[in-house]
Amino acid sequence: MLYVPGCNKRYLEKAKELRADTIILDLGDPILLDAKIQSRDNVIEMLQERGYGKREVVVRVNDFDSPWGLDDIKAVAPLQPDAILFPNIESKEDIINCIAELDRCGGQDISVMVMIESPLAVLNAKEIASASDRIICMVLATSDLISQMYARTTQDRIALTTSLSLVILAARAYGLSVIDGIHSNLKDTASFEYACRMGRDMGFDGKSLVHPDQLAYANDAYTPKPAEIEQAKAIISGLAEANASGRGTVVVDDKLVEHHHVTAAKRLLVQYEMMEELENNI
């Protein structure tokens, strides 16, 4: 998921060619105050053009207690982006109020994503995830979280692991996607690649990015490899054959396989097929 600042029309245009699954048209905190209105106008133009192909197009709006948040919603809701990303959600009431305002502005059919960026939001992740069936994704803002925790950024991300796991658990408990936070040190590609693979292994669906140069690393980490695809197929067929012969389990590549492994294997294949389709239509 690539954040693209609404204030920069060149970046907004360039994003139409990038191999990102999701483009987040950003009106939020990174935009200078005197560029807020122009950014909104630029994003409106991009939504009207519908030039991002099969990519998911999301708009991150400003906080509702800012001078721009409500006007952002009024402007973009009629243009029907794939989702609205609401920042600084800390409670069930926060997201219910945001969705109510979105509906009042004509966005009843628009999906919702929530940003988890504070200690309170992490502790309330379960109630936030359960607040509405309009929510499709939880997005970590790990840089903000680190600052509010008074923690330090390290390669092993030790300060974040508990928070990441809590949000992943909340998302999975309610059937939501969940996306890891950004990596702000653009030159430290080794740490970024490590963070991508760590997030993948923890259970994230993908990573938030702030620069196109990060795309290759994230795509490589989160795209299933050919060997993983073949193993998934072997797991599915292996247990099916075992069940047909009256056995409830089977050993595939020296590992015991049960039904939950088949469920995970089928999910991996669906994920891979969706990626292939997107790649072929970018």
Inter-CA distances, 27 with 21, 125, 129, 164, 227, Å: 19, 24, 23, 25, 40
Strand segments, DSSP code E, in 97-244 are 111-116, 135-140, 177-180, 206-207
Inter-CA distances, 4 with 212, 219, 264, Å: 10, 17, 32
Indicate the DSSP class of residue 236: H
The answer to whether the annotation marks 172 as part of a ligand binding site is no
Residue identified by tokens 């939001």 is 121
The answer to whether the annotation marks 144 as part of a ligand binding site is yes
Distance (Å, rounded) from C-alpha 12 to C-alpha 43?
Answer: 8
The answer to whether the annotation marks 117 as part of a ligand binding site is yes
List binding-site positions for Mg(2+). 117, 144
List binding-site positions for substrate. 60, 117
List binding-site positions. 60, 117, 144
